[in-house]
């Protein structure tokens, strides 16, 4: 059974703090293994990647077959049924339209001293997108990672999507095609991350790596950070639903289960102002779990990490939500806009009774790669900006240098950086001749 808390109970704070502090990720010590894999790929390139793919994915490759050929991609794309193709095309269209609005603008201006200042935005040159493989892979994640990169203007995009035992998900390849990615490598794990970061004889290195993965992939991304950029280290999925009694308990139950079915370590929390409604949702969850296809996974998640929290009012609900800082937040209340104004920390917010989180996973438009484990307190979901970098610009005129140069010289002297100060003073002396 999930945890049931009541904010009016004397021990609520202790129970809520315990809920926040519960560890949902099993501590798997993979770092030494990952370090060895990365070192092997750096030293032996293609040979290491091929051997590790045979070992972990039971797939024999050669340098020539590391990537799908264009004919193979076309063949698999042609196998996608029309309804699924149409759904994926709609998702791609909406995701592209949303992210196009995120492109930042360059700026230049002249300040009161006559100095010209500004910034210029530009894309990274190459990005590598990791996609978990096999039939359990998610084509929606391909779109969510690749389309923002394409909108940003990244020139070279590659995907690593393992195919254990040679099993291919045609939807992943179709998503790659719709997102404008032509190179898809059938490799995965830490070896794929290492290959994208350092390069091999066949695989050219990239500048940024994004996309979800298992503990080995996450550890590899941590280790290559600095050599390349990464998006984030994502943990198990999570959803918080704030709901009043004017909801269908079954709808809310399904929303909670939509995240619980991802992973046994996922977390689904309901905050409600009505205790009876909270009980009705819990009963509806139990009823749905009797027939849900992924009931073993969802049931374990709900049992071990689920929670129903009863609060006095929505002000209290908002305060608790900010402490949870959820990945996904549904506001199923009469006036979601008013409640939204009180919320500061959430990866993505879904407003009103008719906006299930699942829409955001597929066709809403905003990105579904979101900060987990309370990291929405200080980070954001994947966006076009993750594939761009800002270069600052400055041009001094003689008058501008005369106005602000002496202060720069003084600060350089204060920091005992003689050449810094002298580089400014040499120009000031020329002006004073």
Q: Which residues are identified as catalytic? A: 327-328
Round to whole Å and give the CA distance between 58 and 37.
17
What are the φ/ψ torsions at residue 393 (nearest 5 degrees)?
A: -125, 140
CB count in 10 Å sphere of residue 164: 16
Q: Euclidean distance between the first and final Cα of the chain, in Å?
A: 83
Beta bridge partners of 67: 185
163, 134 Cβ separation under 8 angstroms: yes
Q: Which of 355, 323, 325 is nearest to 243 (CA)?
A: 355
- Whether 197 contacts 206, CB under 8 Å: yes
Q: What angle do CA 256, 257, 261 make, to 5 degrees?
A: 135
The answer to whether 148 touches 21, Cβ cutoff 8 Å, is no
Evaluate whether 59 touches 53 at the Cβ level (below 8 Å).
yes
Greatest alpha-carbon span in the chain: 89
Q: Do strands 116-123 and 107-110 pair parallel, antiparallel, or not at all (unpaired)?
A: antiparallel
């Amino acid at each position: 059974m999930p945890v049931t808390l009541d904010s009016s109970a004397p021990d609520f704070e202790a129970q809520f703090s315990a809920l926040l502090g519960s560890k949902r990720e099993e501590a798997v010590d993979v770092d030494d293994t990952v370090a060895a894999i990365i070192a092997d790929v750096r030293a032996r390139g293609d040979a290491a990647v091929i051997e590790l793919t045979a070992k972990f994915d039971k797939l024999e490759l050669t340098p020539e077959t590391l990537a799908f050929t264009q004919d193979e991609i076309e063949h698999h794309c042609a196998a996608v049924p029309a309804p699924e193709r149409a759904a994926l095309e709609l998702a791609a269209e909406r995701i592209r339209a949303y992210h196009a609005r995120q492109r930042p603008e360059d700026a230049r201006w002249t300040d009161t001293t006559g100095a010209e200042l500004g910034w210029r935005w530009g894309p990274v040159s190459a990005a590598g997108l990791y996609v978990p493989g096999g039939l359990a892979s998610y084509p929606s994640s391909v779109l969510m990672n690749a389309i923002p990169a394409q909108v940003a203007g990244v020139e070279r995009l590659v995907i690593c999507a393992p195919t254990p035992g040679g099993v291919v998900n045609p939807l992943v390849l179709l998503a790659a095609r719709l997102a404008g990615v032509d190179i898809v490598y059938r490799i995965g794990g830490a070896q794929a991350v290492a290959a994208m970061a350092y390069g091999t004889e066949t695989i050219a290195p990239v500048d940024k790596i994004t996309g979800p993965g298992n503990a080995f992939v996450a550890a590899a991304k941590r280790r290559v950070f600095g050599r390349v950029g990464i998006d984030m280290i994502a943990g198990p999925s999570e959803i918080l639903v704030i709901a009043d009694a004017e909801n269908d308990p079954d709808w809310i139950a399904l929303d909670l289960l939509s995240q619980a079915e991802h992973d046994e370590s996922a977390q689904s929390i309901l905050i409600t102002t009505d205790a009876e409604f909270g009980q009705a949702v819990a009963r509806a969850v139990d009823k749905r779990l009797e027939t849900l296809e992924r009931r073993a996974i969802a049931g374990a998640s709900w049992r071990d990490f689920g929670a129903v929290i009863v609060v006095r009012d929505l002000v209290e609900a908002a305060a608790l939500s900010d402490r949870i800082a959820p990945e996904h937040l549904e506001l199923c209340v009469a006036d979601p806009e008013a409640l939204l104004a009180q919320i500061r920390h959430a990866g993505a917010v879904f407003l009103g009774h008719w906006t299930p989180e699942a829409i955001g996973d597929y066709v809403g438009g905003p990105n579904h790669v979101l900060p987990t484990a309370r990291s929405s307190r200080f980070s954001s979901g994947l966006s076009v900006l993750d594939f761009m970098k800002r270069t600052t610009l400055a041009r001094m005129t003689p008058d501008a240098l005369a106005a602000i140069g002496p202060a720069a010289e003084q600060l350089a002297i204060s920091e005992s950086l003689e050449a810094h100060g002298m580089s400014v003073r040499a120009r000031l002396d020329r002006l004073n001749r």
